[in-house]
Structure 1
Amino acid sequence: MRRFFWGSKVARTAWIHPTASVDRTFPGGIEIGDSVWIGPFAMVLSHDMARGVYRSTRIGARTVIGARAVIMPGATIGDDCVIEPGAVVSSDVPNGSHASGNPARVRKGTS
């Protein structure tokens, strides 16, 4: 549905819910891979004005971001991951993992 965010890299097959927010302050720092699904009211950030932080945020292929989840600046989420609804991801999530909670904790390869 949305493909171009002012210089961010969003794959053609990514699906971003219309109510989800993708950072517009530092859009060049956003990379969203193939077949990613971003749920309602989720937020993908690449900056933090309070701390003066501008970092690249990457979401790997075939990853699902649940409703109201927040991906903080500088986080890298691997391929085939599931970010549970309401999770706040502030650190890297390895390939094939599930993450949940605030702050998000990683559980390896649960299906």
Structure 2
Amino acid sequence: MMKKIKDFIQIQLRQRLLSVNVWYLNKFFGTHIDATARISLKAKIDKRNGDGIYIDEGTYVAFGVAILAHDMCRHLKADVRIGKNCHIGCNSLILPGVTIGDSCIVAAGAVVTKDVPPNTLVAGNPAVVKKEGIQLNRLGILPKESC
């Protein structure tokens, strides 16, 4: 019984921290992240060009992900847009100027250098489309029969 209570409290605290993280990024760095998006505390969001980052509702960004909206070498600032209900896998890198369509999955460790069409799964370095026309369930998870 105590373990269930402890687990419940941990989940609630984690959810509160994630929503505070989104509020903090929007308020102080000008990002455009929907309140229902879940951004890991260990994700790296570009704060130098925060105004160029758009993350829509229901999107999950895992730990170690880096989302960049500027390139210091080329003196480039370009918007990054991530659509609704996307899943960005851990340690992925999203480069400036990339648009990721709705209901996409970016595999762990992928380096996204070009736009990603909606309902696709991308993986690799550089990221390439591995599967098109994927349908995520209501929780934003790829059902086993779709694999």
Normalising by the smaller structure, the TM-score range is: over 0.9
- TM-score normalised by structure 2 residue count: 0.73
| Structure 2: segments with no counterpart, 5+ residues | 1-17, 135-145
Greater fraction of residues in strand: 1
Distance 2:88 2:73 in 1: 25
Matches within 5 A, 1:27-106: 27-106=50-129
Aligned pair count?
Answer: 111
The alignment yields a C-alpha RMSD, in angstroms, of 0.9
Q: Could you list the structure 1 runs, at least 4 aligned residues long, displaced by more than 4 angstroms after superposition.
A: none
Which residue number corresponds to residue 109 of structure 1?
133
Aligned-pair identity in percent equals: 37
Which is bigger in relative contact order (C-alpha 8 A, separation at least 6)? 1
Shift of 1:109: 2.3
| Structure 1: segments with no counterpart, 5+ residues | none
Greater fraction of residues in helix: 2
Secondary structure at 1:31's aligned position in 2? Answer: strand
Which residue number corresponds to residue 3 of structure 1?
22
Larger radius of gyration: 2
